[in-house]
Amino acid sequence: MKVLIIHAHPEPNSFCAALKSAAEEEFRNDGHEVRVSDLYAMRFNPVASSADFSDRVNPDYCVYALEQRHAVNTGTLSEDVQVELDKLLWCDLLVLNFPIFWFSTPAILKGWIDRVLVSGVVYGGKRFYDRGGLRGKRALVSVTLGGQEHMFGSRGIHGPLQEMLKHLLQGTLAYTGLQVHTPFIGWHVPYISSDDRLAILRAWRDRIRSLNGESTLPYPSLDDFDDNLVLSG
The full DSSP string for 187-222 is: TTGGGS-HHHHHHHHHHHHHHHHTGGG--------G
For residues 104-113, one letter each, b for 16 or more C-beta atoms within 10 angstroms of the residue's C-beta and e for the rest, the string is ebbebbbbbb
Given a cut of 90, is residue 154 above it in pLDDT?
A: no
Residue type, 166: K
pLDDT of residue 11: 97
For residue 43, the SS3 value is coil
| Residue 233 pLDDT class (50, 70, 90 cuts) | confident
Let me know if residue 233 belongs to a domain.
Answer: no
pLDDT of residue 78: 97
> For residue 54, what are the domain limits?
2-224
Strand partners of residue 95: 5, 140
| Residue 2 pLDDT class (50, 70, 90 cuts) | very high
For residue 233, the SS3 value is coil
| Residue 40 pLDDT class (50, 70, 90 cuts) | very high
| Residue 166 pLDDT class (50, 70, 90 cuts) | very high
Tally of domains within the chain: 1
Average pLDDT in the 116-138 region? 96
The per-residue pLDDT for range 65-117, each reduced to its tens digit, is: 999 999 999 999 999 999 999 999 999 999 999 999 999 999 999 999 999 99
Given a cut of 90, is residue 186 above it in pLDDT?
A: yes
State the Cα–Cα distance between residues 78 and 75, nearest whole angstrom: 9
Let me know if residue 65 belongs to a domain.
Answer: yes
Average pLDDT in the 129-156 region? 95
Let me know if residue 108 belongs to a domain.
Answer: yes
The two counts, helices (H) then strands (E), for the chain are: 8, 6
| Residue 208 pLDDT class (50, 70, 90 cuts) | very high
| Residue 163 pLDDT class (50, 70, 90 cuts) | very high
Let me know if residue 11 belongs to a domain.
Answer: yes
Handedness of CA 10, 15, 16, 21 (dihedral sign): positive
Let me know if residue 60 belongs to a domain.
Answer: yes
Let me know if residue 53 belongs to a domain.
Answer: yes
Average pLDDT in the 198-219 region? 96
Let me know if residue 83 belongs to a domain.
Answer: yes
Given a cut of 90, is residue 30 above it in pLDDT?
A: yes
As a whole-number percent, the residues of the chain with pLDDT over 90 amount to 96
User: Could you tell me the CATH number of the domain that includes residue 193?
Assistant: 3.40.50.360
Let me know if residue 229 belongs to a domain.
Answer: no
pLDDT of residue 53: 96
